Structure 1
Amino acid sequence: RLERLGARFEAASPLGNGQCSAPHPLTVTALADGVALEPAATLNCRAAEALARWTTEVQVAAQKEFGESLKSLALGGTYVCRGQNHDTDAKLSEHSFANAIDVMAYGFTKRASLKVTAAPDGTPEAAFLASARTGACTFFRTVLGPGSDAAHGNHLHLDLRERNAGHRLCQ
């Protein structure tokens, strides 16, 4: 399915560190339309597929708001063994299972990159960021970004954490 979505990836060696694990991780370097991941993402297959599907929606938003193409996603983190919000005493983050992505900025073909942050209301930047964030809620079970809490003020956290009754956290 990832190949059909235009993703470029390769299988990586199993990851494990105590309770953290990713038995079948992938190293994903690009998505449809050559959208580069900077740096490459270490994700499980489900998270990679969700990212690939979401990015096609982000590409539509880039065309609508800026009249140009998305060329890259600047990532802050994928697989890393840690607690939620970097708290060593907290429940393990979905990053610990290669099941989460932090998007820091969007790169475009002609305009300057756009950091994930609060943007002035009524601007194309605000409309694009809102569209990307709202669209992520369709593909991911957890979407946190600026305004949700202090830990997510400068990036969009996306993960596939399973919750009771299919509940989604989209803030």
Structure 2
Amino acid sequence: MKRYLYAIASTALLAAAGLLAAPPAAASLTVVNCVGDSVGTYDPGVTNVVQTLEVTGHDQASCVSLTHPTLTSFTADYSGEVTKSRTTLFGGGSGTQTIFWNGGSTVTSAWSWFSTSTTVNGTYVLTVTGPITSGALAGSTLTQVVTFASLDLGACNQPGGLTGYDAPSTWIFSSL
């Protein structure tokens, strides 16, 4: 009995002191996985000089899901103005985008995103993440990873600059 009371008192003291481990955070559940590509253009082309560019592009992907088997593919266009040069091309950004599911216009998802980038073994990797704000999968989080493995940054040194890209992408829609 004495040992039992000691264990209870010790546990209470540790809990009060905040030394007991908190329960693990809720794991996120992948709702939809998609694989495809992101194709875009810069006008004017990206050079070594900082300038305002119009970016237009198109995302497309094939998808699989155990929880949402009817969401099998999507397309999503994007456009906007950025101020970039070769050295700042992969800086952060933010925006919104509408996703059109299954090649149609009746089922959509809208999301608000922000981006960060890293370099992995000399390859630029752009990570774009944010909440689905309305439509299908509203309340979930989307993470897109774009891998620029064949991007020719040397074109920034040429007349006209780097005018576009075609990069493989993955998209993971997840919820808590």
Question: So what's the TM-score if we normalise by structure 1?
Answer: 0.31
Q: Between Structure 1 and Structure 2, which shows a larger proportion of helix residues?
A: 1
Q: Between Structure 1 and Structure 2, which shows a larger proportion of strand residues?
A: 2
Larger Rg over CA atoms: 2
